[in-house]
């Protein structure tokens, strides 16, 4: 645990990190689990993984209590299912489907979309001029069988998504949106 979140006058700040970690582990292990609410146990677990207490007013991850969801315990069971969580899971599933769709685009198709020229066959691979550096001779190796690329002068390589990200200087999400469109 880090000393972040502890008041400046707290004597725990004088403890080394490993002793502070052990103290927290002993505290969590000694806590009476029968009397510990689900909310509090999840809050302690979240604080332990973040190495600091949660900020005041922050919702506890994974907790379904009234404070964290805004739905009272007297509400019908079907309303206590967190609709936000369900929407997030649907969004995650559709995002994963878009990532899979983007990864299905072949390396040679990405090279064509980027306008890197016609690939020249070199053995079992292809080569094009590398757009990442001033390249007089095609040095960007393309392996369509493995769907991987590598540039020896640059010392970088990867899959089709990483090539698009490097050449266009965009983030992963933008590259997925572009290829999955």
pTM of the model: 0.51
At 94, is the pLDDT very low, low, confident or very high (cuts 50, 70, 90)?
confident
The confidence score (pLDDT) of residue 149 equals 95
* Cα–Cα distance measured from residue 88 to residue 108, given in angstroms and rounded to the nearest whole number: 34
At 1, is the pLDDT very low, low, confident or very high (cuts 50, 70, 90)?
very low
Tens of pLDDT, residues 113-153: 999 999 999 988 999 999 999 888 899 999 999 999 999 99
Tens of pLDDT, residues 25-70: 776 666 655 555 676 777 777 776 677 777 776 777 767 676 666 6
* pLDDT top residue among 116 and 20: 116
Structural domains for the chain: 11-81 (no CATH), 107-180 (3.90.580.10)
State the average pLDDT for the chain. 78
């Amino acid at each position: 645990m880090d000393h972040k979140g502890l008041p400046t006058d707290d004597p725990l700040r004088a403890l080394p990190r490993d002793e502070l970690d052990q103290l927290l582990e002993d505290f969590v292990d000694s806590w009476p689990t029968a009397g510990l609410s689900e909310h509090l146990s999840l809050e302690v677990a979240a604080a332990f993984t973040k190495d600091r207490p949660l900020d005041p007013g922050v919702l506890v991850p994974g907790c379904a209590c009234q404070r964290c969801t805004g739905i009272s315990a007297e509400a019908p069971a079907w309303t206590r299912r967190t609709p936000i969580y369900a929407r997030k899971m649907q969004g995650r599933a559709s995002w994963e489907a878009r990532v899979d769709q983007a990864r299905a685009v072949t390396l040679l198709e990405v090279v064509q979309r980027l306008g890197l020229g016609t690939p020249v066959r070199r053995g079992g691979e292809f080569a094009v001029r590398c757009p990442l550096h001033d390249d007089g001779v095609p040095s960007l190796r393309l392996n369509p069988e493995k769907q991987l690329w590598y540039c020896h002068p640059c010392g970088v390589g990867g899959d089709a998504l990483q090539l698009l990200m490097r050449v266009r200087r965009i983030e992963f999400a933008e590259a997925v949106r572009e290829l999955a469109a």
